[in-house]
Amino acid sequence: MKAYSYFVPSIDAQASVWAGTVNETAPVIGPQLGLTAAEVTELQTAATNYKVAVETVETKKRELEEAVARKNESRKTDVQVIARFAGFMKKHKNYTESLGSAMGIVGSVTIINPKDLKPLLSLRSFPGRVEVGFNLQLMKSITIYSRLKGTNGWEKLGNDKSSPFIDTRPLQVPHQPEMREYAGRYFDGKEDIGQMSAIETIAFGG
């Protein structure tokens, strides 16, 4: 059984070489296979255009990578210089909030009610455990709950301050895979607070 693939390379680096080959061989092979001089010229023009287009993309990719690297390095160095001078100026006796705002060196303040916060969970199943990933937003801890799919009532598994929470509970029935549901609420050190996360489901095989 033969598997045929299209002759135009899908990888840009290979496509550039291929287009160059078409351009170089067209004047010799084209007439042997019935192409007129005008058709050979048209073929060469198309091959050249494609080669230039592909190589331009590769050049732009490299330029973008270099520009991103320069930006990241500048953020480490130049922005630190700006931050250092901002800190110095804010300590001056003539400093006011309006002057700082005009210069763009005053951070914004957002008032967030913890009661409105809702965690986002993500699940991964491994032999012997389920990893429950979560985001903390501005909170310091979260409470993780679980139950078998199709049952009522949540079991509190515990609190955690760093993602992921590791659930190592065994299967309720040995050797029988189960569908588990997980949810979470933020914990302020005394009680759960905010909204319950969306319920996430995963198969666990033990």
Q: Domains in the chain and their CATH numbers? A: 9-109 (no CATH), 114-204 (2.60.40.10)
If we measure between CA atoms, which residue out of 5, 7, 11, 21 comes closest to residue 54? 11
62-109 pLDDT tens trace: 999 999 999 999 999 999 999 999 999 999 999 999 999 999 999 888
Give, to the nearest 10 degrees, the angle between helix 37-90 and helix 12-32: 160
Q: Tell me the residue type at 87.
A: G
> Strand pairing of 178-187 and 200-204?
antiparallel
25-51 pLDDT tens trace: 999 999 999 999 999 999 999 999 999
The Cβ of residue 165 has, within 10 Å, a number of other Cβ atoms equal to 22
Collect all residues with Cβ–Cβ distance below 8 Å to 143 and sequence separation of at least 6: 156, 158, 159, 184, 185, 186, 187, 192
Residue 195 scores a pLDDT above 90: yes
